[in-house]
Amino acid sequence: MTNTIPEYTTDSYDVAIIGAGHAGCEAALASARLGCETICFMVSTDTIAMMPCNPNIGGTSKGHLVREVDALGGEMGKNIDKAFIQSKMLNRSKGPAVHSLRAQADKQRYSNCMRAVMENTPHLTLRQAEVSELLYEELPDGTKRVTGVKTVSGAIYPCKAAVLCSGVYLNARCIFGEVSTYTGPNGTPRATHLTDSLIAAGIEMYRFKTGTPARIDRRSIDFSVMEEQRGDEPIVPFSFTNTPEELEREQALCYLAYTNEETHRIIRANLDRSPLFSGDIKGSGPRYCPSIEDKVVKFPEKDRHQIFIEPEGEYTNEMYLSGMSSSLPEEVQIAMYRSIRGLEHAKIVRNAYAIEYDCINPLQLYPTLECKKIHGFFSAGQSNGSSGYEEAAAQGIIAGINASRYVQGKDGITLDRSQAYIGVLIDDLVTKETHEPYRMMTSRAEYRLLLRQDNADLRLTEIGHEIGLIPEERYQKFLMKKQAIEDELERLSLAVLGASREVCETLVGLGSSEIHTATSLLELLRRPELSYESLAPLDPERKPLPADVIEQVVINIRYEGYIERQLQQVEQFKKLENRKIPADFDYDAVPSLRLEARQKLKLFRPVNVGQASRISGVSPADISVLLVFLTRVLRGEAQE
């Protein structure tokens, strides 16, 4: 079709971002803020930073990602701080590594706030248009290089780099029961041409599936029979640039309801009409976000499932039914939802549906998110087979940074598994074969004790500043916080109490035990029954410190043993991570590699020995062989 439309060449840019969802927004902002003339395309400006599924940002491990994006200088944390209507720190009773921040968002406000930032960022142009082709030139070595993008209307935008952030829009199909609509989420336009162009460029595509529950009119719900779910007071901001006091506001309520045997009976009786079970849906769905029909089939022993009923925002009466996504036919959905206590008279505003879409096989990417075959072509978010707003934003900022660095002739930035959840996420995507949408989980992070949401700024602000996304003023504030933590740790280690009767009595009074030799305050803080606050009577020298400084001090003291152990593991890990493998490395020249390992390594082209060691089918012996060979290459070059 596009062939019949006359082409014309229009304005050129440094970087083109294809899509303005959560990946696209971060990518566009990072690229523009780093000085690249950036154009961001979307099928409709109404879809900028749209939240077509759950009405929240954060949650376990996802909250970590948001704080990391913020520490690097991204926008998501600031934006949810503007748009949240309820905030909660999950897992407070567990260790600090798994404390996870989650906020309910006013979806419309979230989208509007982000749109305002996008529209007012220098060097950033927004353009409503469907990108239909990626334009590139062939290079003598068989690789390709991006030269521009083309839209369905025939406009050619010359550019040096392009970032694919197409979300679930490529050849999207929404399905419930026997009904299919060929649209993007929420009935938005889909993108029908780009997949073919990518395939023609040699990109391997996957087809994935996800789903969303129905939205119910608030006025038709009987909340009196449900449990209320309240937010925290005071709240913890997502962005390190905000304080709790600045963000104080009235918080909305969520509600807890349950499915029952009747709900399950209705689902079972209609399974043959579910496109998931009839075989109509071919795309691979995620295991962690199953539809209610999946749950009922897979866990027949459970007689009820929890459902959280959450507001979509303050602008609307629509309520989201978390835990009940479905692709059953409309009338079955009505019966199913109405079988739930409190939802007997529920009126559906929007049906639940499943959505199928095209994405790329992310093994084709370097950890910089640049495509191995096409220089200057990057991809981020659901188009890389991930799921979730936060996973998308995390990849978006990295892709945006690296697209701009590519244009500016700088080396790409990567975070490794010991630095950030972002590093774990991207390493998993580009190294491990996945056949379902990928969701972040804290159990995927082997050094999770170090990768806490509370220290994301300590881990990444420095890097964000070096890249150029953290302004000087924020950086200076950060340095002061860092210094304050070190100073206080030192002070506590030097503040030694004698084993006097007074001291001992105070300790016993605090529910602790006596000391028998001189003991530092730092040592006392290791005792789980003592808190920083409770030790105040024994610490007259203490000066008031911000809560976030005290938090770091206490965590460092209390979990030192475990933290120390993980740091040692990281040291081992870094050894292999620092052994780079040249991009044009010839694996056929390495003798004694096993056939399977050789094939995998040739296919994946890992950037360092650490990444090579995580490829399934590559054994420790193969890694040893590789190390020996790389040493030989190095030494051979040194001799020449």
Of 449, 44, 437, the C-alpha closest to 206 is: 437
Distance, CA of 491 to CA of 432 (rounded, Å): 45
Instruction: List the interface residues with other proteins, window 14-53 (CB under 8 A).
Output: none
User: Which lies closer to other proteins via its Cβ, residue 237 or residue 323?
Assistant: 323
Residue 281 DSSP class: -
- Told to check if 268 binds other proteins by CB under 8 A, we report no
Any idea of the CA torsion for 41, 24, 110, 57, to the nearest 10 degrees?
Answer: 160
- Told to check if 629 binds other proteins by CB under 8 A, we report yes
**Secondary structure E strands in 165-262:** 173-176, 179-181, 205-212, 215-217, 227-229, 254-258
In the list 5, 90, 271, 538, the residue contacting other proteins (rule: CB under 8 A) is 90
- Told to check if 333 binds other proteins by CB under 8 A, we report no
In the list 162, 289, 470, 497, the residue contacting other proteins (rule: CB under 8 A) is 289
Distance, CA of 538 to CA of 442 (rounded, Å): 37
- Told to check if 602 binds other proteins by CB under 8 A, we report no
- Told to check if 182 binds other proteins by CB under 8 A, we report no
* Contact by Cβ (8 Å): 607, 593: no
**Tokens in use for 119?**
């529209």
- Told to check if 304 binds other proteins by CB under 8 A, we report no
In the list 398, 460, 593, 607, the residue contacting other proteins (rule: CB under 8 A) is 593
Contact region with other proteins (CB under 8 A), list: 79-87, 216-224, 366-374, 615-623 = 615-623
- Told to check if 311 binds other proteins by CB under 8 A, we report no
- Told to check if 616 binds other proteins by CB under 8 A, we report yes
Residue type, 617: G
In the list 94, 249, 435, 580, the residue contacting other proteins (rule: CB under 8 A) is 94
Instruction: List the interface residues with other proteins, window 425-444 (CB under 8 A).
Output: 432, 441-444
Residue type, 573: F
In the list 323, 342, 606, 610, the residue contacting other proteins (rule: CB under 8 A) is 323
User: Which lies closer to other proteins via its Cβ, residue 90 or residue 538?
Assistant: 90
- Told to check if 308 binds other proteins by CB under 8 A, we report yes
Determine how β-strand 205-212 pairs with β-strand 179-181: unpaired
Q: Which residues pair with 249 in a beta bridge?
A: none
- Told to check if 636 binds other proteins by CB under 8 A, we report yes
**Tokens in use for 622?**
């193969």
Of 544, 492, 497, 551, the C-alpha closest to 522 is: 492
User: Which lies closer to other proteins via its Cβ, residue 201 or residue 625?
Assistant: 625
At its nearest, how many Å lie between other proteins and the CB of residue 90? 5
- Told to check if 55 binds other proteins by CB under 8 A, we report no
- Told to check if 98 binds other proteins by CB under 8 A, we report yes
Contact region with other proteins (CB under 8 A), list: 71-79, 110-118, 239-247, 592-600 = 592-600
CB-based contacts of 379: which residues, under 8 Å, 6+ apart? 163, 164, 165, 360, 362, 365, 369, 371, 399
- Told to check if 299 binds other proteins by CB under 8 A, we report yes
CB-based contacts of 149: which residues, under 8 Å, 6+ apart? 16, 18, 41, 131, 133, 134, 135, 156, 157, 159, 162
- Told to check if 568 binds other proteins by CB under 8 A, we report no
- Told to check if 517 binds other proteins by CB under 8 A, we report no
In the list 38, 86, 87, 322, the residue contacting other proteins (rule: CB under 8 A) is 322
Burial class (CB in 10 A: 0-12, 13-18, 19+), 316: middle
At its nearest, how many Å lie between other proteins and the CB of residue 560? 13
In the list 145, 477, 594, 605, the residue contacting other proteins (rule: CB under 8 A) is 594
Contacts with other proteins: how many residues (CB under 8 A)? 57
Q: Quickly count helices (H) and strands (E) in the chain.
A: 20, 24
**Tokens in use for 571?**
């040291």
**Tokens in use for 625?**
């062989």
- Told to check if 325 binds other proteins by CB under 8 A, we report yes
Contact region with other proteins (CB under 8 A), list: 120-128, 216-224, 239-247, 290-298 = 290-298
CB-based contacts of 4: which residues, under 8 Å, 6+ apart? none
- Told to check if 290 binds other proteins by CB under 8 A, we report yes
* Contact by Cβ (8 Å): 156, 9: yes
User: Which lies closer to other proteins via its Cβ, residue 114 or residue 254?
Assistant: 254
Chain centroid to Cα 598, Å, comes to: 32
Distance, CA of 514 to CA of 506 (rounded, Å): 9
In the list 20, 34, 83, 97, the residue contacting other proteins (rule: CB under 8 A) is 97
Of 270, 311, 310, 312, the C-alpha closest to 291 is: 270
* Residues 335-374, mask of contacts with other proteins (x by CB under 8 A): ----------------------------------------
Residue type, 238: F
- Told to check if 143 binds other proteins by CB under 8 A, we report no
Q: 135: part of which helix (H) or strand (E)?
A: strand 131-138
CA diameter of the chain: 93
* Residues 526-555, mask of contacts with other proteins (x by CB under 8 A): --x---------------------------
At its nearest, how many Å lie between other proteins and the CB of residue 622? 8
Of 114, 40, 42, the C-alpha closest to 77 is: 114
In the list 31, 38, 47, 61, the residue contacting other proteins (rule: CB under 8 A) is 61
Contact region with other proteins (CB under 8 A), list: 179-187, 299-307, 337-345, 499-507 = 299-307
Size of the chain, expressed as the number of residues it contains:
640
CB-based contacts of 635: which residues, under 8 Å, 6+ apart? none
Chain contacts with other proteins (rule: CB under 8 A)? 54, 60-61, 90-91, 93-95, 97-98, 287-290, 294-295, 298-299, 302, 305-306, 308, 322-323, 325, 432, 441-444, 448-449, 528, 559, 562, 565, 590-594, 614, 616, 619-622, 624-625, 627-629, 631-632, 635-636, 639
